[in-house]
Amino acid sequence: MSQGTLYVNSLARGYLPSALVKYLGLDIEIVDTEKDQESFLKQFPLGKIPAFVGPEGFKLTEVMAIAYYLVNLKGDENIKKVLCGATLEEEAQIMRSLSFTNSELAVAFPTFALMLLGKLPYNKKICDEKRAAFDACMDVFEQRLSEYTYLATEEVSLADLFLGTLYAFSSILIFGAEYRAKYPAIARWFKTVIAHPALAGVFDLSKFRKDTLQYVAPKKESKKETKKETKKPAAEKPKAAAEAEKPAEQPKKPKHPLELLGKATFPLDDWKRKYSNEDTRPVALPWFWEHYNPEEYSIWRVDFKYNDELTLCFMSNNQVGGFMERLTGSVKYMFGCMVVYGEDRNNGIVGAIMLRGQDYAPAFEVAPDWTSYDYAKLDTSNEEDKEFINNMWAWDKPVVINGEPREISDGKVLK
């Protein structure tokens, strides 16, 4: 009879339990939740990786508990003594190291990694803080490993295997050779740990980064380049073919209605650059309020009308992404953020969007699904409305919905 199902994905905490299943030769099915989100979330609505279900519905979450359970499930006393400890003191030291790695290093990592990877809005202060917290953990490990061979005992234990997987994961994703060289004792230790049969073949070491990933502010699209690119292929085509492809008469593109409002003094493109390149709260937002002109632009609260029909947060966020793509025709007159708040099966979409003019319709109606949203004009002379706009654009605090603070799980920027 199968010994259960382990749910993992390509995120860091999944590597240890799946390596253990293989190493211990357990009859456990390993399911990649990226391929089967639905059945995973049905059983584990929090959606945290890893998760485990035994044959009689015995459920486990938390990487440390799952790792401990898998080793004990094997029922091999020698393996258990090595991986989980042979004495009370060894067990406690292994637990100590696992807990430190899991609650300090593994918690600091995703925030700055996701910011560097462009998957979370970049905030220099938070990014630097989390990075410093990660480095502080590395210092603790470096100190330990310059005095001892392993993290907790005299052999490779669960503590070493766990940190080993996170070290490999972060070296593939973020950290380069120079960073690793700052921790020579850890690098030496890693060579031994990665050679342990439990981790053999789990990571492709040739994928370790050479340079550490740095934050690069997104580049503004250059109109000149786009023009150049569209001209080039035409020039390379034989004349006759180019002629044949030419439409008989080029119909004039109708002007966007907001074009009729003329050029605004508020430098929208400068603002978009500021927002992308600077810390939102301390630098970008003060700049915005200094330059904003409410006679030229208006700012709207946008609420999705059918929050009850939303299911998984990532699907709600895809919906926001689709809406923004459909607004492309108006984006040069607009800026804003829309966020998904709440949890899977209990979430909603809200945002604050600035647009040229005082009427929302001309900007939004280019998107066929614009009627799925409610629009309410915000009063930027009112502190509460201003705070709502700041919160939507900084997207770093819970949003208050019907008097209740709701965590923001994801979002998109329209720019």
Ligand X SMILES: N[C@@H](CCC(=O)N[C@@H](CS)C(=O)NCC(=O)O)C(=O)O
Indicate the burial class of 68 (C-beta count within 10 angstroms; 0-12, 13-18, 19 or more).
buried
Query: Candidates 45-53, 172-180, 184-192, 286-294 — which segment interacts with ligand X by CB under 6 A?
Result: 45-53
CB of 341 to ligand X, least distance (A): 14
CB of 364 to ligand X, least distance (A): 31
CB of 269 to ligand X, least distance (A): 35
Contact with ligand X (CB under 6 A): which of 102, 111, 298, 317? 102
CB of 49 to ligand X, least distance (A): 4
- Looking at the DSSP assignment, which residues form a beta bridge with residue 301? 352, 376
CB of 160 to ligand X, least distance (A): 17
Q: Give the closest residue to 321 by CA, choosing from 367, 358, 362.
A: 367
Query: Candidates 8-16, 24-32, 37-45, 81-89 — which segment interacts with ligand X by CB under 6 A?
Result: 8-16
CB 338 within 8 A of CB 302: yes
130/415 with CB nearer ligand X: 130
48/59 with CB nearer ligand X: 48
Distance CA 43, CA 57 (A): 10
50/351 with CB nearer ligand X: 50
CB 379 within 8 A of CB 385: yes
Contact with ligand X (CB under 6 A): which of 5, 37, 62, 142? 62
11/264 with CB nearer ligand X: 11
102/123 with CB nearer ligand X: 102
- Looking at the DSSP assignment, which residues form a beta bridge with residue 53? 5, 59
The answer to whether residue 49 forms part of the interface with ligand X (CB under 6 A) is yes
CB of 126 to ligand X, least distance (A): 17
168/258 with CB nearer ligand X: 168
Cis peptide before 50, with omega less than 30 degrees from 0? yes
Contact with ligand X (CB under 6 A): which of 48, 96, 119, 377? 48
CB of 358 to ligand X, least distance (A): 40
Q: Give the closest residue to 94 by CA, choosing from 106, 103, 82, 104.
A: 82
Query: Candidates 21-29, 42-50, 194-202, 297-305 — which segment interacts with ligand X by CB under 6 A?
Result: 42-50
CA 59 to chain centre: 27
The answer to whether residue 47 forms part of the interface with ligand X (CB under 6 A) is yes
Query: Candidates 6-14, 37-45, 242-250, 253-261 — which segment interacts with ligand X by CB under 6 A?
Result: 6-14
Contact with ligand X (CB under 6 A): which of 53, 60, 63, 120? 63
The C-alpha torsion from 163 through 166 and 171 to 177, rounded to 10°, is -10
CB 328 within 8 A of CB 386: no
Q: Is the dihedral of CA 194, 200, 203, 204 positive or negative?
A: positive
Indicate the burial class of 210 (C-beta count within 10 angstroms; 0-12, 13-18, 19 or more).
exposed
Distance CA 377, CA 363 (A): 14
Q: What residue ranges bind ligand X (CB under 6 A)? A: 11-13, 47-49, 62-63, 102
